[in-house]
Amino acid sequence: MFKYIAVFLIFFVGGASADQESLEKKISERFPTASIDSVMETDIVGFYEIVIGGSIYYVDEDFTYLFDGNLIELSSMRNLTSERTSEIEMAQLEEVAMPFDELPLDMAIKRVYGSGERKFAYFADPNCGYCRKFDEETLGNISDATLYLFLYPVITERSIPISKSIWCSSDPVVAWDNFIFEGISPEADGSCDNPVDQIVEFGNKMLVRATPTLFFNDGTRASGALSLEQLESRLVAAE
C-alpha cells in the first residue's frame, strides 16, 4: 500500500509533460512484443494511461514506474479505470459492428417461436449455466420470434465435442434441449461437416467474450441472461 502511495507521489510532483511519442518508444523498447493501442496523458500531472492489448496501465513520464490497477477519484469514488475500460470496449464493438443479415446465419441452428416475425441471434455454450437459465426462463416464454443459435464452445474444452455432436444430430434443436436441460449427450459422434470451429473464429473476431451474447436485427448486441421483459424490449427496439 505504502509503495503505491510513494509511486503516486512521484506522479504528482513533476515538471514538463513527456513527449508521448518518446514514451511510446520507451514502452516498445522495454516490451518489444507488446501491442500498444494508445498512449495518452491523464489529468494527473506526469501520469500517463497506456492501453496494451485492450488492458489499461498507468506509467510516469520517464517510464520508471508502471501501475497495474484501478484508478479511483476519491472525491466522487468514481472508478476511472472501469469507465475507460467500458469506453474502449464500446469503441471496439462499434468497429466490429455487423448488420444482422450479414451474420453467417447458415452456421446457426434455426428455431421459430410463433409467427417468427422478429429475428435475433444467440451465441451459447452448452455448458453455460446462464444459457440454461436464459433458455428456461426467457426463451421458454417468448413468442413470435426466430432464433438463430450459434454453438459457441468457449467455457470449457468439453463443450467442443458436445457442440459438434449437437450440430450433427438429426434434430439439433432437440439435441440442444436434451443436453442443456437434461444433461443427455447427443448420440451423434460429431464427425459430420460442422461449422463449430468457424463459429468460434467468427465470435472471436466479433469480440463475443461471454455466453449468452445476443445480436438483434438493428445490429445491437447484449450479453447476459436477459429476462423476458428485457428481451422483448430489445426486440421491439430493433424492429
* Residue pLDDT, tens place only, 53-89: 778 899 988 889 998 988 888 999 989 888 887 777 7
Q: Are residues 119 and 84 in the same domain?
A: no
CA atoms within a 13 Å half-sphere pointing along the CA-CB vector of 231: 28
* Residue pLDDT, tens place only, 155-211: 999 999 999 999 999 999 999 999 999 999 999 999 999 999 999 999 998 888 889
Please state the domain count of the chain.
Answer: 2
What confidence category does residue 34 fall into, taking pLDDT thresholds of 50, 70 and 90?
confident
| Structural domain containing residue 74 | 2-95
Q: Are residues 128 and 233 in the same domain?
A: yes
What radius of gyration, in Å, describes the C-alpha atoms of the chain?
Answer: 23
φ, ψ of residue 148 to 5 degrees: the values are -110, 105
Angle between helix axes 196-205 and 159-168 (nearest 10 degrees) is: 120
* Residue pLDDT, tens place only, 98-109: 789 999 999 999
Last residue of a domain, one of 38, 69, 95: 95
What confidence category does residue 96 fall into, taking pLDDT thresholds of 50, 70 and 90?
low
Q: Are residues 79 and 107 in the same domain?
A: no
11: nearest Cα among 83, 74, 71: 71
Q: Are residues 53 and 121 in the same domain?
A: no
Residue 132 has pLDDT above 90, yes or no: yes
Rounded distance between C-alpha atoms, residue 108 and residue 104, angstroms: 7
Q: Note the pLDDT of residue 14.
A: 42
Report the predicted TM-score, pTM, of the whole model to 2 decimal places: 0.67
Q: Are residues 75 and 133 in the same domain?
A: no
Q: Are residues 86 and 110 in the same domain?
A: no
Rounded distance between C-alpha atoms, residue 185 and residue 162, angstroms: 7
Q: Are residues 68 and 135 in the same domain?
A: no
Q: Are residues 84 and 118 in the same domain?
A: no
Mean pLDDT for all residues in the chain: 87
Rounded distance between C-alpha atoms, residue 123 and residue 30, angstroms: 39
Cell numbers placing 175: 439435441
Last residue of a domain, one of 70, 95, 120: 95
Q: Are residues 226 and 194 in the same domain?
A: yes
Q: Note the pLDDT of residue 1.
A: 45
